[in-house]
Amino acid sequence: MSSYIVTVEPLGREVECAEDQTILDACLRNGVWLPHSCTHGTCATCKAEVLEGDVDHGASSSFALMDFEREEGKVLPCCAMPRSDVTIEADIDVDESIEVFPVEDYTGTVVELAEIANETVRLVIELDRPMGFNAGQYLKFTVPARDGHPAVDRTWSIASPPTENSRLEFHIRRVPGGRGTDGWVFGGLAVGDEVSASGPYGRFVLKVGDDRDAILVGGGTGLAPLKAMVRHALENDAYEGHLSLYSGGRTREWLYDVAYFQDLAQRYPSRFTFRPCLSEETAEEVASAGEDPSAYGFGMVTDVIAAEHPSLSGWAGYLCGPPPMVEAALKTMMGKRLFPRDIYREDFFNEADKASGGVKSPLIKR
DSSP 74-93: EE-TTT-EESS-EEEE----
CA–CA distance, 187 with 198 (Å, rounded to integer): 22
What are the E-state strand segments in 272-362? 272-278, 297-298, 316-321, 343-347
3-state helix/strand/coil string of 334-345: HHCCCCHHHEEE
- CB crowding 69-106: b at 16 or more within 10 Å, else e: bbeeebbbbbbbbbeeebbbebeeeeeeeeebbebeeb
Q: Would you state the pLDDT for residue 350?
A: 63
CA–CA distance, 323 with 346 (Å, rounded to integer): 8
Contact, 54 vs 83, CB < 8 A?
A: yes
Q: CB neighbours of 244 closer than 8 A, spacing ≥ 6?
A: 213, 214, 215, 216, 272, 273, 275
CA–CA distance, 254 with 263 (Å, rounded to integer): 19
Q: Would you state the pLDDT for residue 94?
A: 66
CA–CA distance, 286 with 290 (Å, rounded to integer): 7
H or E, element range at 207: none
CA–CA distance, 41 with 59 (Å, rounded to integer): 6
Rounded to 10°, the helix 223-235/258-267 angle is 20
CA–CA distance, 183 with 284 (Å, rounded to integer): 39
Name which of 32, 153, 171, 16 is nearest 81 in CA terms.
16
CA–CA distance, 68 with 65 (Å, rounded to integer): 8
pLDDT per residue, tens digit, the chain (366 aa), is 899 999 999 989 999 999 999 999 999 999 888 888 888 888 888 999 999 999 999 988 888 899 889 988 899 999 999 999 999 999 887 666 778 899 999 999 999 999 999 999 999 999 999 999 999 999 999 999 988 888 999 999 999 999 999 999 999 999 999 999 999 999 999 999 999 999 999 989 999 989 999 999 999 999 999 999 999 999 999 999 999 999 999 999 999 999 999 999 999 999 999 999 999 999 999 999 999 999 999 999 999 999 999 999 999 999 999 999 999 999 999 999 999 999 999 988 765 554 455 444 333 333
CA–CA distance, 301 with 145 (Å, rounded to integer): 39
CA–CA distance, 322 with 54 (Å, rounded to integer): 34
Q: CB neighbours of 155 closer than 8 A, spacing ≥ 6?
A: 38, 39, 40, 138, 139, 140, 141, 201
Q: What angle do CA 7, 33, 39 make, to 5 degrees?
A: 100
Contact, 159 vs 225, CB < 8 A?
A: yes
Q: Would you state the pLDDT for residue 64?
A: 86
3-state class (DSSP) for residue 247: strand
Name which of 74, 51, 49 is nearest 64 in CA terms.
74
Q: What is the Cβ-side half-sphere exposure of residue 98, based on CA atoms within 13 angstroms?
A: 20
Which of the 8 DSSP states describes residue 365? B
Whole-prediction pTM value?
A: 0.88
